[in-house]
Structure 1
Amino acid sequence: MAGTQPEVTLRFMAAPTDAGLTGTVDGGRVLEWIDKSGYACAVGWAGTYCVTAYVGNIKFAQPVRIGDIVEVQSRLVYTGRSSMHIVTTVASGDPRTGDLTVATQCLSIFVAVGTDGRPTPVPTFTPVDDWEREQHEIARKRIDLRADIEASMADQVYSDAGTAPRTVLRFLAAPTDINWGGKVHGGTVMRWIDDAAHVVASGWHGGRTIAAYAGGVRFYRPLLIGDLVEVDARLVHTGTTSMHLSVHVRSGDPKTGELNLTTHCMIVFVALDEQNHKVAVRTWEPVSEEDAALDEHARYVIGVRERLRRQVPADPPASRAGAR
């Protein structure tokens, strides 16, 4: 029944097929888990089909190892007219002990969609404990901040005048990418983003890299099975050990070749040595005016991220299933 299921917890084992190049589960796979858990939570509350609108402030605190037991908990913390703000926490650990440590936590926003394909109202969520009240207030405060980030992202120009390292992946969206609504999973799109960014980051560093953070993942329109997909990743800023990349996903009918922006985000990779310790990365220096503007944009986003970091509260308490 709509309005009665504010949380979902998924539990499973991390499989060998989830491994990335570093031997642990890659960031793209974790993003898929986050999207699927968040979707289940959103649908459970709305009682109707939902689409991913935004995923933000994803910090990969520690890797998930192959063979770990994984728990992905999604909890509703705020509702708008048709939107649901959901905090998802990914924890993992040795199944022999059952001790789990938080690997990732982030905020996702889903929108309920009616049979006509348009946003539809959802039941109002009212927090009932201190953690929910704290998260409810944080979600409310972040609405304006997120709008500022999106406006800043939209103002940036990405053209051939840029000289930064860049890669473009192109392929067709396959039937195996489909979700329950006949569209491509938001988590699948985020995995593609991780893949393209990894190519650029590894090429710039010339060694091992891993995703450390992803933010401002904005979904503009659905991506359909059979669409031609273009994932365009570009380096925009380097730190001491980090590489900041802006990634655009475009899609459209392969018969026309006309592509429209589907998703845009900023993702951060860090450089690693053979023992998976962080190491210094070569500094990228902007050359063109476009390079300089994108570097400045990345610095602005870093500042926003630091402000958000100071707002992050403690991990969510144990499940409250049945408490309402």
Structure 2
Amino acid sequence: MEWIDKAGYACAVGWSGSYCVTAYVGNVLHRRPIAPGSLVEAHARLIHTGRTSMHVLVTVSSADVSTREFRAATTCILIFVAKGSDGRPAAVRPWVPRSRSDKKLASVAVDHIDARATIKDLMLDDVFAGKAGARGRTLRFLVPPGVVNWGGNAHGGTVMRWIDEAAYVCAASWAGEDEAASDAVAVYSGGIHFFAPVRIGELVEINAQIVYTSTHSMHISIRVHTADPRRPDEMTLTTQCLSVFVVPDGDGGTRPVPQWTPSGDEELSLWEHARDIVQLRERIVPISASLARED
């Protein structure tokens, strides 16, 4: 997740010539795992610009060091906003698609805008209970100075890594007591909206909750809140995300996972929103890795 953000950031800064912040990351499709010791390549390309925003498509590929044959592992779209010296959004020069792939990818970026807005509204409408019992986990810590970016805040990619770690803890604990549960892996992350910066030295609280289960998958809603350590009860929502985890069975398939049945109006609302998001996501056609890398 950090590699994705770094590649996208480099692309956005290169185009805008100014400091940029991550505003959104969507449709992170983890097609296959990346083995330790692999060569990794993160390829970013601009596919759409707004007045102050840039839509960047990132493809992460990996290869065995002996063959150097790269295969795509992950693709996603990120949106960055350019910032001026006053910290306010700054206009960026428009990007004009020229090649066949440019035009097709630009069309995809525009088509995703309405679906993304709907998913964002659904996620914000969730009645996100702070205490979710066995189906939820919470991580708390102070933002360390080592993750500071050019703007003086935590890198968006670092926040994404924290989200992934919290979701993993939630998925592994829900999946069961046996050793296989520790093998839970993310196959999808989406709807990652960044609402406010995460400042160095702040208290971070990451809540991850199971909001939907299918026979073989766990859908986890994650929210990141921050606060001044002197006022820990005054939390601000900075980031939200929905991730999907499965437990591999070792034979190319996935294990069944314990099912969650909502009880009460609040839990039922969470379940219904998650189901609606799943249906919306299925309407979004994934971007093929070959198109992403086509000139």
- Fold similarity call, TM over 0.5: yes
Q: What is the distance in 1 between the residues matched to 2:9 and 2:294? A: 17
CA contact (8 A) 2:30 2:73 kept: yes
Q: Does the alignment pair 1:265 with 2:241?
A: yes
Deviation per CA, 1:37-85: give whole Å up to 9, x if none. 0000000000000000000001100011111111100000000000000
Decide which of 70, 81, 101 is 1:131's aligned counterpart.
101
Decide which of 145, 149, 153 is 2:115's aligned counterpart.
145
Amino acid at match of 2:214: G
Matches within 5 A, 1:21-100: 31-100=1-70
Q: Does the alignment pair 1:285 with 2:261?
A: yes
> 1:11 maps to what in 2?
none
Q: Decide which moves more: 79-88 or 292-301.
A: 292-301
Q: What is the distance in 1 between the residues matched to 2:108 and 2:129? A: 36
Matches within 5 A, 1:168-179: 168-179=138-149
CA contact (8 A) 1:62 1:104 kept: yes
CA contact (8 A) 1:138 1:311 kept: no
CA contact (8 A) 1:164 1:236 kept: no
Secondary structure of 1:149's match? Answer: helix
> 1:220 maps to what in 2?
195
Matches within 5 A, 1:243-254: 243-254=218-229
Residues 100 and 283 of structure 1, relative CA distance in 2, 3 Å threshold = same
CA contact (8 A) 2:22 2:78 kept: yes
Normalising to structure 1: TM-score of the pair? 0.86
Q: Decide which moves more: 286-295 or 274-283.
A: 274-283
Secondary structure of 1:55's match? Answer: strand
Instruction: Provide runs of 4+ in structure 1 moved above 2 Å.
Output: 159-164, 272-277, 310-320
Q: What is the distance in 2 between the residues matched to 1:192 and 1:142? A: 26
Residues 113 and 273 of structure 1, relative CA distance in 2, 3 Å threshold = same
Q: What is the distance in 2 between the residues matched to 1:291 and 1:227? A: 30
Amino acid at match of 1:70: V
CA contact (8 A) 1:241 1:278 kept: yes
Normalising to structure 2: TM-score of the pair? 0.94
Q: What is the distance in 2 between the residues matched to 1:276 and 1:230? A: 35
Structure 1: runs of 5 or more not aligned: 1-30
- CA-CA distance at 1:142 after TM superposition: 1.2
Amino acid at match of 1:290: E
- CA-CA distance at 1:109 after TM superposition: 0.1
Amino acid at match of 1:251: T
CA contact (8 A) 2:29 2:76 kept: yes
Secondary structure of 2:59's match? Answer: strand
Q: Decide which moves more: 294-303 or 266-275.
A: 266-275
Decide which of 231, 240, 260 is 2:206's aligned counterpart.
231
Q: Decide which moves more: 267-276 or 60-69.
A: 267-276
Amino acid at match of 1:301: I
Q: Decide which moves more: 214-223 or 273-282.
A: 273-282
Structure 2: runs of 5 or more not aligned: none
RMSD (Å), alpha carbons: 1.6
Q: What is the distance in 2 between the residues matched to 1:93 and 1:160? A: 42
Decide which of 146, 158, 161 is 1:188's aligned counterpart.
158
Q: What is the distance in 1 between the residues matched to 2:275 and 2:54? A: 29
Aligned residues: 289
Residues 317 and 301 of structure 1, relative CA distance in 2, 3 Å threshold = closer
Residues 251 and 287 of structure 1, relative CA distance in 2, 3 Å threshold = same
CA contact (8 A) 1:163 1:291 kept: no
Residues 318 and 301 of structure 1, relative CA distance in 2, 3 Å threshold = closer
Q: Decide which moves more: 137-146 or 39-48.
A: 137-146
Q: What is the distance in 2 between the residues matched to 1:313 and 1:294? A: 31
- CA-CA distance at 1:270 after TM superposition: 0.4
Amino acid at match of 2:121: A
